[in-house]
Structure formats: structure tokens, C-alpha cells
Amino acid sequence: MSAPPAAVANSSRRVRGSLAWHAGALAVLAVVLYPVVWLIGASFKEGDEIIGSLQLLPTDPVAKNYTRLADGLADIPISTFFYNSAFLAVGSVIGVLLSCSLAAYAFARIKFAGRNMFFVLMIGTLLLPYHVLLIPQYVLFQKMELIDSYTPLLLGKYLATEAFFVFLMVQFMRNLPKELDEAARLDGCGHLRIYWSIVLPLCRPALITSAIFTFINTWNDFMGPLIYVNTPEKYTVALGLKMFVDQEAVSDYGGMIAMSLVALLPVLAFFLAFQRYLIDGMATSGLKG
Amino acid sequence: MGTKVPGPRSAPAPSPDPAAALKRRARRENLAGYLFMSPWIAGFLLLTAGPMIASLYFAFTDYNLFDAPKWIGLANFEEMFADPRWRHSVSVTLWYVVIGTPLKLLLALGVALLLAQKRRGQGFYRAAFYAPSLIGASVSVAIVWKAIFSDDGPVDKAQRTFFGVDVGGWIGDPQWILYALVGLTVWQFGAPMVIFLAGLKQVPRELYEAAEVDGAGPWRRFWSITLPMISPVLFFNILLETIHSFQIFASAYIVGGGAGGSACGPADGSLVYTCYLYVQGFENSRMGLASAMAWMLLVAVALVTAVLFWSQKRWVHYEEGAR
């Protein structure tokens, strides 16, 4: 059985198209991955070899950049920075999940006076540049003597100021069938019951997306801790890295590079575990905006 | 939050006056609504609306955080406009936005068109390309960027070898450092790409089939079908990316930090607007001036947003019946 000539031409064109596609995708992949691979390679190089060697991976990998981290930074164990960052990130996740879902439930499920006005205000804060609030919030927290504590970094998370997540949850809740709450209402459930036992469990995907994004954003946040935290014992990983940058000339480059990589690991782990939720969350935010 | 919101009883007694019952129900809904909204309302008043009003007031005062603010009228704004360093930070930021945002969105759209084809490995590529958007704002990546673009770093060496150009590393050069920052934002094209991909998936196949029957080539199909169909998504991406790039801080602060003794790059090469705002507010304790600067940023972002919303009537196509 031989295929007709047209089919052969067609399939060879398909093969060529497929090859071109993979070549293009691989080229983009190489550029995207280069900095990450560079970082991994550099973390196993000698400190003075990191800049200047074109080799991506070291010929003689050394572990001393990592073992050096055990000495800590300015007499503070590196684990302190990680603990602080984790504390802030987990605290932020809890706050965002509770406060944003409460507001989202009100927007999506309760008909109250002024709802549309509040919704417009909420969308407005979504577009508001954060820096307008930077100085007056600092003044406020300074008057309340809360500088050098974590309160300024956490309070907003418990007061639903993260409009993006409120918006994400509103979109999700609006798509849940209305019949669910009507049935629950007939059974005598109040809003709190409906929110907690019916709507929240059904919102799991939106909650997971918000939780992961909050964790990652808090973990990466630099400006907040930079402004509000002064005591090195309270520094987050981002500030610890900045300490490395500041004393780069004195101290060693290798340790900084190794810590940069370790600092990325929680984010990358979350990404690998939950990439579906993150990507779908991003995608829907755009489609319904 | 521990307050229990009473729902309607399972068997409500027949009310003699239906209008009163409706009213009672509306009042209950209002109460529930405000209880659920209370964290948001508190946050809005305490952390958004209040600070905005305060900052508008500070903008007209001389305020160093320790003495009471002193009203000085428009002096902050006059000083700002006359300050060559402020004007320089505006131009650095505008260049960053004007070059970085279109490049990032073009790459995002191009790669999205590539990934929209159903091929093996599509999901893997999508995830891999998205990853930089999650780590791009971190200090770690800024440190990597600084190293890669530094004197004698890989980019410098490649540039010397292949192009014979020696700028001594992009980080150390007042002009080139901006392009290192542009590169960092373009590297994070994955977030808008994912949004484009979702938009592309919603374009009905029949449109392409019909166009192909009519003899429309790939370019024609792109301009007449794809682009109009994804224009709402394109609008969303332009809006968000533009607003975000006006607010770049951490990467400029770290990448430019230390080089040449200035907080924001050699000869202020990476002095983006928020960097200068930080310097004035928190290093020079000029809270009044920094508030005036912040309000200028707000006005600029609001103008850009308004222009984008005004222009969308001309080029964004919303489907009939869609929200």
C-alpha cells in the first residue's frame, strides 16, 4: 500500500512545520532559562570565577558557597531570614484568604445598598499606584509606633486591600449557580453559613490561586520590608540578600549567589506544585476583565 | 466576624403587610452586606482613602516626619519641576515604559501565537515561559541580572566577541543600564502571554475556516480575525503592563545599587521615578516633597489610563452579548 503523492507532500510539510515550531519554542526556552541555569552554575563556582568565566557550568564544582551560608550573615543565622519571610508569607496568606473572600462574597452574593459604588472603588484601588500610599501609610504607622514591627506589612492583608484577589474571587463566585444559596436559604441558612459551608468550599480553585500568589508576592516583596523593618534580626530573605549586596566588596560574592538561589527555591517549589492554578488564575483574570 | 447573620426562618409566619416584609428583608441584606464588607471598608478608609487625603495635604507642606508639617503652598511642585534630577527620573521612567512595555507585549503575543498551535510539549513550554514572571521581581533575579550584565560578565564578553563593541558592561554605563532593566521586564513576558493564550483559545475556529475558504492568507487572517477578536485581551494587557512598569522599583534599586556610588545606577542611569521618590522621602526625609512626587505619578498614571480607555472605543471589539 503506498500513500498518494499529495498525502506524502502534505505529511512532509507537516513534519517541517513541526520542526520549525519546536526550533522556535526551544530558542525561546534557551533565553528564558539562561539566567536560571547561570545562577545554578555560578553557585558552584569559586567566588572570583563567577563573573568573567563564560562557562555556564563549573569544571570543578565546589560546595563552599553553600557551606559558607551556615556561618550566617553579620552574626545572624541565614535561617532567621527564611523563618521571618515564611512567617510573613503564611500570615499574609491567611489574611488575604479570609478578608478578601468575605468582601468577595458580599459583592457576589448579597444585595446591599451601595454595592455598585463599593465595587467601583475596589476596582479603582486595583489601578491605584501603590506609591501614593507609601508616605502617608509610613507616617500613620510611625505615629502608631509600629515601625520595625511586622504589623504594617500584615495589616493590609487582613483588611482586604489586595483588590486583585477580591476581584478574582468575585468573578469566581458569580459563576457559582444561584440555586445553591436559594436552596440553602429555604433550609434556614444565613449568609455566614452559606459563605462558610457552601461558597468557600466551591471556591477552592480561586482560593488556592490567591494563596499561592500571595505567598510568592510576600516572599519576593522588597520595598515593604525595606521601609518598615530596621533590625537585622527581623530582616526577610530579600533584605538579607540586600545586606549581601551592600557588603559585596568586603564579603564574598559566592555566598550571595548561593543564597540568591536558595531564596528562589520556595517560589519555584510552589510553582512546580501548583502551576495549573497559577496559570489558569492569570488567564481568567484577563478574560473577564 | 463572629456575629451570626440571621437568615429567614424556615417557615416564616405569613406577614400581614408584604411591603413591610420586603423592607425588613432588604434591611437584613444591608446589614449582612456591611458586616461582610467591614474588613474591606476599614482597610479602604484607614489604608487607602485616609492616606490619600493625607498625602494630598503633605504635598503642599514641608514635612520631615518629626516636626509638624508646615504649609508652603506650591513650593514642592515648583522645586520638583525645577529639579534636573527629577526631570531626569521622569525621562528614565518614560523611556523604560515606552521601550519595555511594547517589546514585552510583542514577544508575549508572538510566543502566544506559537504556543496556540496544538503541539506536543505545549503545556511544558507554557509553564516554563511563565516562570520568570513569578521570580522576576525578586532580589535574587536582580542580583543575577546585575552579574550577567556587569563588566566582564557573559553579555559584555559576548558583545565584545561578536560585535566588537566594548561598553564595559551595561550596568556600569549610564545609558546601557536602562536596557538591562528593559531586558529584565521583557524576560517576564510569560504573564501577558498566558492571558493572550487564553484569549486566542476563545476565537471560534469557524472564522478561520471561512476565511481560508475565501482565500485569505495567514497575514490577512491575523489582521482581520485574530487581532480584532483578541483586542479586549490586548487592551487589558496594555493597561496592566503600562501601569506596572511606571512603578518599577526593586529591580532598579538592586541592579543600579552600589554602582558608581549612587543609589540608582551610574550617573543616575537607572534612577526610575520611584527610586527618586524613595531617596527624597526616606533617605532625605522630605516627606512633603515625596508626597508631591507621588501625586504627580498618580496623575500621570490616571492620564495614561484615561487615554487608553478613551482609545479603546476605536479599536477594541467587544462581542455582542458579552459582558
Domain count, chain A: 2
Of B47, B143, B153, the CB nearest to A245: B143
- In the predicted model, residues of chain B with pLDDT beneath 70 are 1-16, 258-263, 319-323
Distance CA A210, CA A63 (A): 36
Q: Are A122 and A163 in contact (CB under 8 A)?
A: yes
Look at residue A286 in the predicted model and tell me its pLDDT: 59
- Is A252 in the same domain as A152? yes
The domain spanning residue A157 has which CATH number? 1.10.3720.10
pLDDT of B7: 46
Angstrom distance (rounded) from CA B59 to CA B295? 8
Smallest CA–CA distance, residue A168 to chain B, in Å, is 14
Confirm if A33 and B128 have CB atoms less than 8 A apart.
Answer: yes
Q: Tell whether A90 and A112 lie within a shared domain.
A: yes
Q: How confident is the model at residue A80 (pLDDT cuts 50, 70, 90)?
A: very high
Indicate if A19 and A117 belong to the same structural domain. no
User: B294–A284: do the CB atoms touch at under 8 Å?
Assistant: no
pLDDT at B78: 95
- Candidates A51, A111, A241; nearest CB to B29: A111
- Which of A32, A62, A92 finishes a domain? A62
Phi/psi at B62 (5° precision): -100, 115
Is residue A99 located within the same domain as residue A21?
A: no
- How far away is chain A from the Cα of B36, in angstroms, using its nearest Cα? 5
Lowest mean pLDDT among A83-92, A128-137, A260-269, A275-284: A275-284
Closest CB from B55, B145, B198 relative to A135: B55
Q: Enumerate the residues of chain B whose CB falls inside 8 A of the CB of residue A160.
A: 39-40, 43
Classify residue B57 by burial, with Cβ atoms within 10 Å: 0-12, 13-18, 19+.
middle
- Assess whether A176 and A156 both reside in one domain: yes
Q: In terms of domains, do A29 and A82 share one? A: no
Res B97: pLDDT:
95
Under 8 Å CB pairs connecting chains A and B tally to: 292
Do the beta carbons of residue B33 and residue A93 sit within 8 Å?
no
Q: Choose the mutation target among A53, A107, A112 for the interface with B, i.e. most B CBs under 10 Å.
A: A112
Q: Note the ipTM here.
A: 0.88
Q: What is the pLDDT of residue A248?
A: 56
What are the tens digits of pLDDT across the range A231-254?
999 999 999 988 887 775 555 788
pLDDT-based confidence at residue A159 (cuts at 50, 70, 90) = very high
Q: What 3-state DSSP class applies to A73?
A: strand
Question: pLDDT > 70: what percent of chain A?
Answer: 93
Q: Could you tell me if B299 lies within 8 Å of chain A, comparing CB atoms?
A: no
Best probe of the A interface among B36, B97, B156, by most A CBs < 10 A, is: B36
B208 vs A72, residue with greater confidence: B208
What confidence tens digit (pLDDT) does each residue in A98-120 have? 999 999 999 999 999 999 999 99
Query: Do the chains contact at A282 and B131, CB–CB below 8 Å?
Result: no
Is the domain of A49 the same as that of A103? Answer: no
A contact residues 163-192, partner B, Cβ 8 Å cutoff = 166, 185-192
With CB atoms and an 8 Å threshold, state whether A132 touches B298.
yes
Measured between CA atoms, the residue of chain A closest to residue B256 is A245
Residues 120-179 of B with CB under 8 A from A: 121, 125-132, 134-135, 137-141, 143-145, 147-148, 150-154, 157-158
- Structural domain range at position A47: 5-62
Closest CB from A99, A195, A238 relative to B39: A99
Q: Is A193 helix (H, G, I), strand (E, B) or coil?
A: helix
Domain ranges for chain B: 23-71, 75-315
Average pLDDT score over chain A? 87
Contact between B139 and A25 using a beta-carbon 8 Å cutoff: no
Question: What's the grid cell of residue B228?
Answer: 480584532
Query: Could you tell me the pTM of the whole model?
Result: 0.88
Evaluate if residue A288 carries a pLDDT over 60.
Answer: no
Choose the final residue of a domain: A25, A46, A62. A62
d(CA A182, CA A159): 29
**Pair (A35, A163) in one structural domain:** no
Same domain for A254 and A158, yes or no, is: yes
Burial A191-216 (b: 16+ CB within 10 A, else e): bbbbbeebbbeebeebbbbbbbbbbb
Whether residue B119 and residue A18 make contact (CB cut-off 8 A), yes or no, is: yes
Q: Which runs of E-coded beta strand occur in chain B?
A: 61-62, 70-71
pLDDT for B104: 96
Instruction: Identify whether residues A45 and A11 lie together within a single domain.
Output: yes
Best CA proximity match to A103, nearest among B43, B50, B240, B8: B43
Classified by CATH at the fold level, domain B75-315 comes out as MetI-like fold (1.10.3720)
Closest-CA residue of chain A to B43: A159
Considering only CB atoms, B198 lies closest to which of A105, A186, A286, namely A286
- Residue B42: which of A18, A50, A159 has the nearest Cβ? A159
Q: Say yes or no: A7 contacts chain B, CB-CB below 8 A.
A: no
